[in-house]
């Protein structure tokens, strides 16, 4: 699936603003064939660059060759929770021999695309964590609670109300966005030529993302392309800690039924990791971009709006040190459209994409997560 750490030399990447207390992740994404998308993830503190791709399942007439957008987001949240669990255990001088997590995320879609009433929503996330090591079950339960509610910036995205901001261009012409302006990314150049320069940093890198079970659903069931929607999307992520320290996230769409993908994650060097794979916040950021782009293409297809191509540059920002006071900041996005439609239709396209994006809904909706402990089921 051509997921790799990219060599930043030779890529026309603007250096990200550096602040000692904030982590900025810049995700640049474009559409490929069908529902496939490609993203370049620029990790601010270390300058590491990742190239990842996403696809959709049969529910959106995708080819199911790569994880769907919500898989990146939910796996990113799970990896971040696991990282904060391990960090809290280290702070308490407690050894962790095993760590397992099962996370259920629920998203909603309801309304009419043609009438402009269709909107995404989010329901409370449910997480179950189990661990063993040099502490009692009660202590590990306390660590899990602290990691989730007092350390995790990823969970904070779900718990806080964060209003996204945008800048929009059509055919390189700036359009007047009626909402919150995305000032940080508004003046950036169209990234159309960036992707051809992405080359793998090493030739023999390990496989970071792979499909481990295929969906058993007949094709032609593109429920996501219906103009009227009233449904719940359920995504389950199972996380475990490997012997080499990498986190293995197995993520699957339960409703509608989809394939299961394994995604490997590692902490960044800025937080003490080896950066052998994207960290949780990098995956989370890619998920935001991919989901939003799916909604752009989906809405244009439903209302039969002409759209030759589109790209985005997106910034997500988090605190570098949680210190029992996690935080997250609103998403900023520059949208570049290739279209012959009038400007009002381009603005409506972006507005509806944000309104129907599951992850932008998760950012703008405060939904308190639920933590449980005990024995954990598996998803495959």
CATH number of domain containing 319 = 3.30.300.20
Query: What does the alpha-carbon distance between residue 334 and residue 338 come to, in Å, rounded to a whole number?
Result: 14
Mean pLDDT for 73-102 is 97
Q: Is residue 158 part of a domain?
A: yes
Q: Is residue 69 part of a domain?
A: yes
pLDDT over 60 (residue 376): no
pLDDT over 50 (residue 204): yes
Strands (E), the chain: 4-6, 22-31, 37-43, 48-54, 96-112, 119-133, 165-170, 173-175, 209-213, 228-241, 247-255, 260-265, 309-319, 332-338, 370-373
Q: Is residue 74 part of a domain?
A: yes
Q: Is residue 302 part of a domain?
A: yes
User: In 21-37, which positions are buried (b, 16+ CB within 10 angstroms) versus exposed (e)?
Assistant: ebbbbbbbbbbeeebbb
pLDDT over 60 (residue 269): yes
pLDDT over 80 (residue 220): no
Domain containing 176 equals 4-373
Mean pLDDT for 244-251 is 97
Question: Quick one: pLDDT band at residue 321, thresholds 50, 70, 90?
Answer: low
Query: What does the alpha-carbon distance between residue 234 and residue 252 come to, in Å, rounded to a whole number?
Result: 9
Range from 72-76, 107-111, 197-201 carrying the lowest mean pLDDT: 197-201
Q: Quote the number of domains for the chain.
A: 1
Q: Is residue 133 part of a domain?
A: yes
Mean pLDDT for 343-356 is 97
Q: Is residue 380 part of a domain?
A: no
Q: Is residue 112 part of a domain?
A: yes
Q: Is residue 378 part of a domain?
A: no
């Amino acid at each position: 699936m051509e997921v790799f750490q990219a060599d930043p030399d030779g890529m026309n990447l603007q250096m990200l603003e550096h602040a000692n207390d904030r982590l900025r992740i810049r995700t640049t994404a474009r559409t490929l064939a069908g529902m496939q998308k490609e993203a370049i993830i620029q990790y601010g503190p270390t300058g590491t660059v990742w190239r990842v791709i996403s696809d959709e399942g049969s529910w959106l007439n995708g080819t199911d060759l790569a994880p769907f957008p919500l898989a990146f987001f939910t796996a990113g949240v799970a990896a971040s929770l696991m990282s904060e669990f391990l960090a809290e255990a280290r702070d308490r001088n407690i050894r962790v021999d095993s760590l397992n997590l099962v996370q259920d995320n629920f998203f909603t879609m309801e309304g009419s695309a043609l009438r402009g009433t269709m909107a995404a929503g989010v329901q409370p996330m449910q997480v179950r964590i189990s661990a063993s090591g040099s502490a009692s079950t009660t202590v590990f339960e306390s660590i899990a609670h602290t990691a989730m509610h007092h350390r995790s910036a990823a969970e904070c995205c779900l718990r806080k109300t964060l209003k996204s901001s945008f800048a929009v261009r059509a055919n390189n012409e700036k359009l007047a966005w009626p909402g919150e302006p995305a000032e940080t990314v508004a003046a950036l150049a169209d990234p159309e030529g960036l992707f051809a320069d992405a080359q793998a940093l090493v030739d023999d890198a390990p496989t970071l993302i792979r499909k481990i079970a295929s969906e058993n659903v007949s094709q032609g069931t593109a429920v996501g392309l219906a103009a009227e929607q009233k449904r719940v999307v359920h995504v389950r992520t199972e996380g475990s800690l490997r012997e080499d320290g990498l986190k293995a996230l197995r993520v699957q769409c339960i409703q509608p039924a989809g394939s299961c993908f394994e995604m490997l994650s590692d902490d960044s060097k800025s937080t003490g990791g080896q950066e052998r794979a994207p960290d949780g916040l990098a995956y989370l950021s890619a998920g935001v971009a991919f989901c939003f782009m799916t909604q752009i293409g989906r809405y244009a297809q439903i209302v039969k709006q002409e759209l030759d191509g589109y790209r985005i540059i997106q910034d997500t920002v988090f605190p570098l040190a949680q210190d029992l006071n996690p935080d997250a900041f609103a998403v900023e996005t520059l949208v570049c459209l290739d279209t012959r439609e009038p400007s009002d239709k381009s603005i409506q396209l972006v507005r509806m994409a944000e309104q129907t994006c599951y992850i932008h809904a998760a950012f703008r909706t405060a939904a308190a997560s639920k933590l449980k402990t005990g024995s954990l089921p598996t998803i495959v």
